[in-house]
Amino acid sequence: MAEEKRVQVTVVGSSNVDITARMDRLPGPGETVLADSYRLTPGGKGANQALAAQLAGARTEFVGALGQDEHSAIALAQLRQAGVLLDRVIRSSEPTGVAIISVDAQGENSIAVISGANSTVDGTAVRAAGPLHGVVVLQGEIPASGISAAIAAGTERIVLNLAPVIKLEPKDLVRADPLVVNEHEAFEVLEQLDARAATGLEGHYDHLAHALLEQGIASVVITLGGAGCLVAQRDGSGSVRLEKVPAPRVDAVDTTGAGDAFTGALAAQLANGKNLAQAATFATRFAAYTVQHPGAQASYPRDLSQPQETGSARTQE
């Protein structure tokens, strides 16, 4: 029997069932809007990223937690079908996490997340899982202690997508290589590291990237929605190098999960030996494909020849 391919990417994170309602426009505060339809689909930033990494060509394992309820059967269905390793997914007494997503006619969304079993992916649970192999991918939908333990257990590169932004120790933040954030998240992370350094930089993504590197983070990728992303790292001489990666122009239908698609595809490319700029270029195209189709995991390309440039652009940060 041929030896099984080694794990190249390990994603430690959240798994949810997405309850997605489609409507003409998103409601304002205190307002009720009638939705056209709803559906239950698998989601969660961790599970989304694991699926994206597997589909983008890396042997991937997902480490997380589910409840013992009817939603658990939905949560990992697409990961299982794609071949993601699930041996270290635990069953919790807490319910399976749920995300309530509203999507308007232009493809914009608002999301509320109920953590449920994801709240049990803490330091104790992650340490019990043992060593984490390959590129380790993390997000902000599990407890900070779980992220810290995963960083300590990682055997190779750490990709930290701190979304949403939660409080982490500086020693954990500076292990990111890269830190993957949007402009707003970049500012919040910099505030954690040095509030004075962040003063006046909100909205200035290039200065934010430079400042994050100055704080000791090895590399940074700031996602810019339809404008693509900014890759920031030091070159061989130690000088900061900023490189803008444009996004393909596509007609957006639903931006749900596009940021997760980007992060998972980025990690897969890094695991397969691409440099950060090359990985970001691929990930940008991968994410741009997803916004042309409804849903999160269901929108991810199953054939890597699918992502292509069409129409006008708007992808999720």
Question: What is the CATH classification number for the domain harbouring 79?
Answer: 3.40.1190.20
What was the pLDDT predicted at 313? 40
Q: Give the chain's domain count.
A: 1
Residue 81 structural domain: 9-14+45-92+118-299
Average pLDDT, consecutive stretches of 10 residues, N- to C-terminus, the chain (317 residues): 74 94 92 93 94 96 96 93 96 94 85 92 96 96 97 95 96 97 96 92 90 96 92 86 88 81 97 97 91 80 62 40
Closest CA to 147 of 261, 219, 161: 161
Let me know if residue 173 belongs to a domain. yes
Query: What's the N-to-C CA distance of the chain in angstroms?
Result: 43
What was the pLDDT predicted at 4? 61
Amino acid of residue 242: L
Let me know if residue 315 belongs to a domain. no
What was the pLDDT predicted at 307? 56
Q: How far is CA 166 from its chain centroid? A: 14
Catalytic residue among 18, 177, 254, 260: 260
Amino acid of residue 40: L
- Name the burial class of residue 61, with classes exposed (0-12), middle (13-18) and buried (19+) by CB atoms within 10 angstroms of its CB: buried
Let me know if residue 23 belongs to a domain. no
How are beta strands 219-223 and 90-91 bridged, if at all?
A: unpaired
Let me know if residue 148 belongs to a domain. yes
What was the pLDDT predicted at 317? 41
Let me know if residue 71 belongs to a domain. yes
Contact between 201 and 256 under an 8 Å Cβ cutoff? The reply is no
Let me know if residue 27 belongs to a domain. no
260 is catalytic: yes
What was the pLDDT predicted at 108? 83
Let me know if residue 103 belongs to a domain. no
Let me know if residue 35 belongs to a domain. no
